[in-house]
């Protein structure tokens, strides 16, 4: 039940939070997202869905929720990515003292918005970003995500990202809560219009301005299923990985060596040593495989998925790194029916 405080915001009272949901062909996930947002209590808010020129039922689904304002994304101009254009459209319309940018494939736990707002205030953060709990269903989701997120946690430790004295910067575009004042002061998404990795770019602007950011894993607040099939997973990480890791080719080689080493030892040496000594080789192989599994624990997945990651996800991650590196070197990245240059500018098609 929605209390009157969190009902559709009136024009006479400025909401505490404007929730902005960019959505392009999101009919599979948008309803669950909006149900969880409409049910948020304890904070006055408005919900704005920006339909990014969808070709499915995205707009109709959004319009079926009476508290939700549905806007059409502005025409996509040169030098803008689709998501930056959509969230900028929503930000211009939002009246909140805070802006929450969240993706259409997220589901927000009851009361999480009020808790996030309190957390931002208590930590004196101008930008609070959550890394959601990742839901994996298909084989390649379960195998690949533990490796990706373990490497992200290594590259961007949340404690360092949240440290004002550290140069580490990160954010997750699935959940960014930012003060309106800070957003406007750094130029908002117009300042990063061409950035494909817009979440990190926005966080970098905020931190460079001397403002505080806070970043953490937040299974207690929000969950998401990023990709629903292999093709989406492949294209999504192809778009992002080379931008997230500074030396993707070197990292791919390192991951492949760590994955292949125990099996090379086992199969190449098994026939060359005596039967009585083979247990030593098996023990070494087991230790190396266990090490690969253990390194994935920082990704916050269960043990079964860590094993899938160690056996199958590591070579898949290396492949995606190299695929991403190649796409960006070639100068074109394909995402949701649009092709961007390596600098983020739209190549084709034009809407």
Q: How far is CA 188 from CA 123, 199, 342, in A?
A: 22, 11, 21
**What pLDDT does residue 240 have?**
95
**What pLDDT does residue 4 have?**
41
**What pLDDT does residue 280 have?**
65
- Give pLDDT tens digits for 204-241: 999 999 999 999 999 999 999 999 999 999 999 999 99
Position with higher pLDDT, 281 vs 34 = 34
**What pLDDT does residue 9 have?**
42
Q: In DSSP terms, which residues pair with 333 in a beta bridge?
A: 340
- Measure the CA–CA gap between 151 and 156, rounded to whole angstroms: 8
Mean pLDDT of 41-55: 96
Residue 60 in tokens = 């109709």
Whether 276 has a pLDDT exceeding 80, the answer reads no
Whether 272 has a pLDDT exceeding 60, the answer reads no
Which stretch of 175-189, 199-213, 271-285 has the lowest confidence by average pLDDT?
Answer: 271-285
> Strand 346-348's sheet: what is its strand order?
333-335, 338-340, 346-348
Q: Of 240, 217, 7, whose CA–CA distance to 132 is shortest?
A: 217
- Give pLDDT tens digits for 1-46: 444 444 444 444 778 999 999 999 999 999 999 999 999 999 999 9
The position carrying tokens 């995500």 is 145
In which element (H, E) is residue 234 found? helix 230-244
**What pLDDT does residue 275 have?**
64
For residue 119, what are the contacts with CB-CB under 8 A and spacing of at least 6?
A: 125, 128, 214
Mean pLDDT of 339-350: 63
Tell which CATH classification among 3.90.550.10, 3.20.20.70, 1.10.238.10, 3.40.50.720 matches the domain 4-132+172-228: 3.90.550.10
In which element (H, E) is residue 112 found? helix 112-122
Give the DSSP per-residue string, 155-207.
Answer: HS-HHHHT-TT-------TTEEEEEHHHHHHTTGGGGGTT-SSHHHHHHHHHH
**What pLDDT does residue 348 have?**
55
User: pTM score, two decimals?
Assistant: 0.89
Mean pLDDT of 310-316: 95
Contact assessment for residue 76 and residue 350, using Cβ atoms and an 8 Å cutoff = yes
Mean pLDDT of 126-133: 98
Q: Exposure of 5 by Cβ count < 10 A (0-12 exposed, 13-18 middle, 19+ buried)?
A: exposed
Is it true that the peptide bond before 202 is cis, omega within 30 degrees of 0? no
Q: What does the radius of gyration of the chain's CA atoms come to, in whole angstroms?
A: 22
- Measure the CA–CA gap between 256 and 269, rounded to whole angstroms: 19
**What pLDDT does residue 133 have?**
97
% of the chain beyond a pLDDT of 70: 89
């Amino acid at each position: 039940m929605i209390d009157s405080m969190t009902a559709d915001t009136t024009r006479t009272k400025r909401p505490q939070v404007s929730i902005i949901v960019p959505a392009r062909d999101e009919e599979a996930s948008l309803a669950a997202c909006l149900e969880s947002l409409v049910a948020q209590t304890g904070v006055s808010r408005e919900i704005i869905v920006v339909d990014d020129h969808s070709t499915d039922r995205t707009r109709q689904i959004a319009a079926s929720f009476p508290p939700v304002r549905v806007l059409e994304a502005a025409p996509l101009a040169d030098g803008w990515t689709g998501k930056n254009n959509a969230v900028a459209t929503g930000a211009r319309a939002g009246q909140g003292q805070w802006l929450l940018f969240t993706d259409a494939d997220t589901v927000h736990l009851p009361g999480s918005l009020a808790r996030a707002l309190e957390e931002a205030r208590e930590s004196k953060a101008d930008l609070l970003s959550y890394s959601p709990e990742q839901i994996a269903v298909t084989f390649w989701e379960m195998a690949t995500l533990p490796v990706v997120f373990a490497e992200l946690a290594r590259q961007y430790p949340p404690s360092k990202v949240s440290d004002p004295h550290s140069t580490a910067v990160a954010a997750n575009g699935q959940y960014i809560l930012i003060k309106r004042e800070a957003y406007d002061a750094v130029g908002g998404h117009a300042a990063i219009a061409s950035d494909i990795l817009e979440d990190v770019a926005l966080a970098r602007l905020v931190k460079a301005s001397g403002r505080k950011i806070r970043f953490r894993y937040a299974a207690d607040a929000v969950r998401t299923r990023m990709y629903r099939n292999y093709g989406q997973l492949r294209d999504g990480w192809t778009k992002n990985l080379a931008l997230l890791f500074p030396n993707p080719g070197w990292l791919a080689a390192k991951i492949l060596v760590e994955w292949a080493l125990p099996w090379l030892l086992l199969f190449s040496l098994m026939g060359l040593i005596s039967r009585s000594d083979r247990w030593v080789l098996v023990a070494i192989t087991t230790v190396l495989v266990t090490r690969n599994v253990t390194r994935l624990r920082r990704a916050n997945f269960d043990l079964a998925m860590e094993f899938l990651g160690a056996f199958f996800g590591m070579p898949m991650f290396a492949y995606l790194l190299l695929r991403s590196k190649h796409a960006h070197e070639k100068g074109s990245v394909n995402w949701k029916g649009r092709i961007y240059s390596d600098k983020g500018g739209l190549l084709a098609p034009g809407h």
